[in-house]
Structure 1
Amino acid sequence: MTFHIRPGLLVVSTALMAVTACSEPIDLDFRGAFGNAPSTAAAARNAVSDRPEPDARGIISYPGYQVAVAQRGDNLASLAARIGADPQALARYNGIQTGDPLRDGEIIALPGRVSEPAGGPIHAPAGVDITTLADGAIRKADANKVETTTLAPSSQVGIQPIRHRVERGETAFTIARLYNVSIRSLAEWNGLGSDFSVREGQYLLIPVAPPGEQVKPFDSAEVQAVEPPGAGSLTPTPPSASKPLPAEKTVPKSTPVKSSAPNLGTTQTVASNSRMAYPVRGDIIREYAKGKNDGIDIAANPGTAVKAAANGVVAAITEDTNGIPIIVVKHPNNLLTVYSNIGNLAVKKGDSVKRGQKLAEIRRSGTAALHFEVREGFDSVDPIPYLG
């Protein structure tokens, strides 16, 4: 199956994947839990099978299509020669040039079938309904149908994954989020580079769960009990009118009253160390919403200076597929800030920056706003509590 799906919202978080030098492993699953429903993060991390092993040529063969896995030192021409395919046809189909170098493990989609591996194509295990598993994606699918061949006995058993074609404006993160898989799994299955970049026209295999893996059904017992409507709450016992009120204590006018106001000389320093400055000043036109908007959008005139929210190091500078820059700054305590919808960059990767230092400017075309995110590791959090 091949799908052409455009997410309505471009999310900039793929840039975070360039910060893989963090000392501790980070959960790259960005799917959020809603309400009291059980979290799906563990499922995305653990319930993903390994990509099937290719044959000696690098071919992975499914009933509906075949892909080739690039080997170290490959370019498209050498891969085409090894599998017996037309390099020009491969280039057109995958949106690259015949001389372009390929990453070790990169997936190249085949427009037609080449000779099958000795064991034949990978077949689904008995009792697995592929249509049911892919139902959500099929509803969004392209009208063009992929013709399948008759299943043959195979030494490999597995589910045929969805094959997604990258459209303009998409990133690895938007695609992973679209299919509810982790970025890490998507990268491992498709041999993505350290910056997790994808190109328009590239085909990606969407990781699948191991054969027979069952999704845990929703258990109402895991949700905190809620009283039925109309149950009401207990009325507190009113104080007895028969008991006398305590004697009123008169404070002499000359007695000084101790102020409860905080000592700004001590508290202000602590606050400034724990909070961040607004990268631009303006109205918040879109608020943080976990799983929907992983940051805030702050209105600002085109050309407005975008400043570092706190001291840190520029950990990554990348672009989305529309060529719009994204800056990621790493701060102490495993905090990251993300700045997008920017241009005229004033820093480069590896630069140390100070709070309030200019990083870039608001773009002079498109939406007049900055998209700003704060992340604890790779987990997005509401920026407002951090901003002073």
Structure 2
Amino acid sequence: MKRWLWWPLALGLALAAAPVHVVRPGETLYRIARTYGVPLEALAAANGIADVNLIRAGQRLVIPSEPSWPADWGLAVTPWPPEQGRPAVFRVPVGVNAVRVFQLEVPVARGVALVPVPADTRPGLHPFVLEGAGLKGELLVLPGGYGSENIVLSEEKNALLDREKIRAEKARLLEACGPWTAELLGPGPWRWPLERVEETSAFGTRRSYNGRPGGWHGGVDLRGEEGTPVYAPAAGVVALSTELYVRGNAVVLRHGLGLCSGYYHLSRRAVEPGQRVAKGELLGYVGATGLVTGPHLHWEVRLLGQTTDPAAFTRPDLWQALAPARAAGR
């Protein structure tokens, strides 16, 4: 088959996997193109628009989403485009020692930086700098597609919503997670901490409590009967094993590269601070301690202090992109 006959098929396959934007009242094609960092002409061509002034509210536009920086930089970002609340792996050129983005400076280990994309990051273009190489570009971030929920608390549980105590607990968790280290303590992909995986509340869900806004859900809630064993999803060091105000009986593991994971509302804890654990080792048991409405496991992952979708670390593609850093951390 002649090469030119493949072009419509290749374009169609690429656009089928591309993100989609639904036009809002008052939006222009120019503004949408600028938001997603794509040329106006490319956006029009991808959607068969002959007149760039004629779009309508509710129209679905496919966004062609190739990176905007020059190919000769030698920069690759996985996944592309990244999404709110999920980590991105930057494979950077020689000489780059850090990636500065989202008001964070992420160190590079063996040519790779594991970058958190905060869950409240605005979708669209964000500037980044490759420190050590003097290169500046723009990173496209897509919406995470998060839902919302209202949690009804009893008067007793509602009384626990003390903002000062919540802030103090968060500070303690950040301290437990510790500083960034170049060593990754074990390979991935991670496993789920329960043998039976059933999500009852997804990461990133925008929450309210008794009708009052309460931010987003910083972890994954997994259904489990009281006493269900909880296992380490990856090798790590126990940074915290104690009882907390909101999270109840808690265990926190450090994994390296600025990664730590937390296991909350436990009925009992089975590890002590400073203990090194292997993937699959028992951490404790599901419970209903702290600020909860019933027994479950709240699994939380932080990357450089930012809560990040735990499910992302169970997927092989993330670890394939991390391979250079992973190999040195074995």
TM-score range, shorter chain: 0.3 to 0.5
Greater RCO (Cα-Cα under 8 Å, separation 6 or more): 1
Q: If the length of structure 2 is used for normalisation, what is the TM-score? A: 0.38
Q: If the length of structure 1 is used for normalisation, what is the TM-score? A: 0.33
Specify which structure has the higher proportion of strand: 2
Structure number, greater radius of gyration: 1
